[in-house]
Chain A
Amino acid sequence: SQQGEEDPQALSIQEGENATMNCSYKTSINNLQWYRQNSGRGLVHLILIRSNEREKHSGRLRVTLDTSKKSSSLLITASRAADTASYFCGGIQGFNKFYFGSGTKLNVKP
């Protein structure tokens, strides 16, 4: 991707299990954001974590940020079939440009 990588590229789990996705980025950021995209649709903003934060929670979402490793993780607990989507991290990098990671395609089986 332009400025970051995510792993795994694809993840398939059973409903009720936790899903963890990782994101790495290349240059310094002020904050990092996670988005969800259902197939062929627009983006839904999930959560923002600032560079001075290490962990943030929102409902079933938990995001961590390690600026020393330039990485972040998104944990979805007690996953549901409706969580099936692609998940992207992104942030302002370089000359005030917003780049996305390569994304993780999550499939939650009922």
Chain B
Amino acid sequence: GAVVSQHPSWVICKSGTSVKIECRSLDFQATTMFWYRQFPKQSLMLMATSNEGSKATYEQGVEKDKFLINHASLTLSTLTVTSAHPEDSSFYICSAKGQSPISGANVLTFGAGSRLTVL
């Protein structure tokens, strides 16, 4: 139980294009989703927190117009990297917080990550 699917797992795009990454909670409803970014050999940096039906809260230094987050339903949040540039190349990971369908406890489950390479 408490499975999060992240898609695509890797994507290569040209500079200037936009890329959308999806994060789905498959068997539970995620009231909150978190988006992280990880550069090579570094830790995961929280980019933004999104709650279903409301605007995302961005961490300091994260451009909200650059990284568009939509959490339109309790099972889906999307991160769109707009007008991507090579410096946006990174590993992006989402996580979903909700109630486990098995234990009933609040859980925080991570997706497998999406590796973005901007040429």
A59 in the interface (beta carbon within 8 A): no
Bound: A4/B36 CA distance, A: 15
B45 touches A96 (CB 8 A): no
B95 in the interface (beta carbon within 8 A): yes
Question: Residues of B contacting A99 with CB < 8 Å?
Answer: 46
B34 touches A97 (CB 8 A): yes
Bound: A65/B57 CA distance, A: 30
A98 touches B46 (CB 8 A): yes
Question: Contacts A43-B93, A43-B110 hold; do A100 and B44 have CB atoms under 8 A apart?
Answer: yes
Number of A residues near B (Cβ < 8 Å) is 22
Question: Residues of B contacting A98 with CB < 8 Å?
Answer: 34, 46, 95, 97, 108
A45 touches B43 (CB 8 A): no
B68 → A minimal CB distance (Å): 19
Contact with A along B94-119 (1 / 0, CB 8 A): 01010000000000111111010000
> Which B20-75 residues sit within 8 Å CB-CB of chain A?
32, 34, 36, 41-46, 49, 57, 59
A42 touches B113 (CB 8 A): yes
Nearest-neighbor residue (CB-CB) of A92 within chain B? B108
A97 touches B112 (CB 8 A): no
A45 touches B110 (CB 8 A): yes
Report B's interface with A, CB cutoff 8 A. Answer: 6, 32, 34, 36, 41-46, 49, 57, 59, 91, 93, 95, 97, 108-113, 115
- Inter-chain pairs besides A43-B113, A102-B42, 4 sampled, C-beta below 8 Å: A2-B59, A97-B46, A98-B34, A100-B36
Q: 8 closest A-B pairs (Cβ-Cβ)?
A: A42-B112, A42-B113, A43-B110, A100-B44, A103-B43, A102-B43, A100-B43, A1-B43
